[in-house]
Amino acid sequence: MNPELQIISAQWIVPVIPRNTVLEHHSVVIENGKIIDLLPIKHAKAKYSGAPHIERSTHALIPGLVNSHTHAAMSLFRGLADDIPLMTWLNSHIWPAESKWVNHEFMRDGTELAIAEMLLSGTTCFNDMYFFPDIVAKTAQDLGIRAFVSMIVLDFPSVWANKPEEYFTNGLMVHDEVRSLSRINTTMAPHAPYTVSDSPLEQVRTYADELHVPIHMHVHETEQEVLDSVAQAGIRPMERLHQLGLLNPRMMAVHMTQLTEEEILLTAEQGIHVVHCPQSNLKLASGHCPVSELLGAGTNVCLGTDSAASNNDLDMLSEMQTACLIAKTNSEDASVLPAWQALEMATINGAIALNCQNEIGSIEIGKSADLVALDLNHFSTQPVYNPIAQIVYSASRQQVTDVWVEGKYRVKSGSLVSVNTDQVLSKAAQWGERINDSQSRMST
């Protein structure tokens, strides 16, 4: 028997494709990290007799979750500045903290903390926008998770670069470096319309086309952002981006809380992808993304957590539930955004936005074995009438027992396999003490 062959069986398998499908008492057969078969358990045992067999008899097996918008290392700023409007949060708290604290050590330790949290809650791929993407890439590769790291672009100096030309130079170096890392890819990541001027944005479009990478950008996050653009440029940010040729199928527009009917139609017509971050938008009072209208228009909508500094967690299971509840309330229609569609947003839709849908996002033959097992034999998820509904509306991340990336355990029986948990927690606590002590001295 091939030593690289293994079988994972579960009471329910939710493949995502075909949509809204549940397979009972089925097995996923994996060879060399790829799914080679999906069939009933009894048939798997007969066809692949002798292969190692992992049985999860009270579990649901789903594709690994795709967190389509993060600032991973900002986990070390979790709780630093809560209950504050976005621009005050950025200008008075986050940007000054970044200027003081963000360095190689901060990035490594913060990214490790974020990856540990994400893996334990079923995320197997994240799309990051932050400084020192080379460190994010190496850390993600070492810890066994998939990541898209950012070639970030800003008009103003930061710890990563001083001017747009330097941002591009540094980002392109990272793009070349990560080619040797099997689970890492890049995106062009202009921060936002209000922090990047026209000339760099035109360069972003050119590089994205040449390198065949997504464009990852905050767009229409708040009403004030839109009002400021109209006052300064005479047009809304979406129209400006359209004039610059950036509204195309490479664009991943994050937040999108302020959209007119015309802009919703434009989003669908141009094939851009919307990244919905419901909990961060709620906490910062940024507004509500019109998810049901976007989906109705045919737009691909995926899910992200944003940073743990504004959320304050990286829990995609919780994000799915919140997305459903907001959509239903905003539309005053309980049938809007059913559970199965939220699961699509957290899996295959994110993969589509990142152009890796042929590799991840669903449990299909030929795709990577990025899988998550959730134990539904729990007080909060019994009885089980509809496993997908239980996962989205009732399950918590504490019910994630096992996570595989490329068929390899990353979480086994609730414990991280490739992460030194004690070390990560110790470093996080040390950073908290250093930052808190500094904040206390500044306030006295």
pLDDT of residue 332: 95
pTM above 0.95, yes or no: yes
pLDDT of residue 100: 93
Residue range 261-271: average pLDDT?
Answer: 98
Side-by-side strand order, sheet with 34-40: 34-40, 23-31, 5-13, 53-63, 371-375, 400-405, 408-412, 415-416
Q: Is the pLDDT of residue 105 over 90?
A: yes
pLDDT at 1 over 60: no
The number of angstroms, rounded, from the C-alpha of 430 to the middle of its chain's C-alpha atoms is: 27
Strands (E) across 240-378 are located at 251-255, 273-276, 300-303, 371-375
Instruction: Average the pLDDT over 44-67 and give the result.
Output: 97
Match 């994205």 to its residue by tokens. 208
Q: Is a pLDDT exceeding 90 seen at residue 371?
A: yes
Instruction: Give Rg (Cα) of the chain.
Output: 21
Q: Where are the alpha helices (DSSP H) in 27-132?
A: 41-47, 86-88, 95-101, 104-120
pLDDT value at position 187? 98
Residues with Cβ within 8 Å of 398's Cβ and at least 6 positions away in sequence, in order, are none
Average pLDDT over residues 9-13: 98
pLDDT (tens digit, 9 = 90+) per residue, 118-163? 999 999 999 999 999 999 999 999 999 999 999 999 999 999 999 9
Residues 229-247 have a mean pLDDT of 97
How far, in Å, CA of 330 to CA of 235, rounded?
Answer: 27
Nearby residues of 291 by Cβ (< 8 Å), 6 or more positions away: 276, 301, 323, 326, 327, 330, 337
Say whether pLDDT at 12 is over 80.
yes
Q: How confident is the model at residue 76 (pLDDT cuts 50, 70, 90)?
A: very high
Confidence of residue 328 (pLDDT cuts 50, 70, 90): very high
Cα–Cα distance between 433 and 443 in angstroms, integer?
A: 15
CB 332 within 8 A of CB 289: no
Domain with CATH 2.30.40.10 in the chain: 5-63+367-413
Residues of the chain within CATH 3.20.20.140 domain(s) are 65-353
Q: Using one digit for the tens of pLDDT, what is the confidence trace for 79-95?
A: 999 998 888 988 899 98
Compute CA distances 400 → 121, 159, 347, 373, 415, whole Å.
6, 36, 16, 6, 10
Domain 5-63+367-413, second-level architecture? Roll (2.30)
Q: Is residue 188 predicted with pLDDT exceeding 60?
A: yes
Q: Give phi and psi for 309, each to the nearest 5.
A: -80, -15
pLDDT value at residue 444: 52
The structure tokens 């190692």 sit at: 52
What pLDDT is attached to residue 386?
Answer: 98
The alpha carbon of 389 is separated from its chain's Cα centroid by a whole number of angstroms, namely 21
Q: Is 135 exposed, middle or buried (0-12, 13-18, 19+ CB in 10 A)?
A: buried
The sign of the CA dihedral 219, 158, 67, 381 is negative
Structure tokens belonging to residue 140: 């993600």
Given this model, what pLDDT does residue 437 score?
84
CATH code for the domain defined by 65-353: 3.20.20.140
CA atoms 435, 437, 438, 443: torsion sign: positive
Q: Kindly report the number of other CB atoms within 10 A of residue 165's CB atom.
A: 11
Share above pLDDT 70 across residues of the chain, in percent, rounded to a whole number? 98
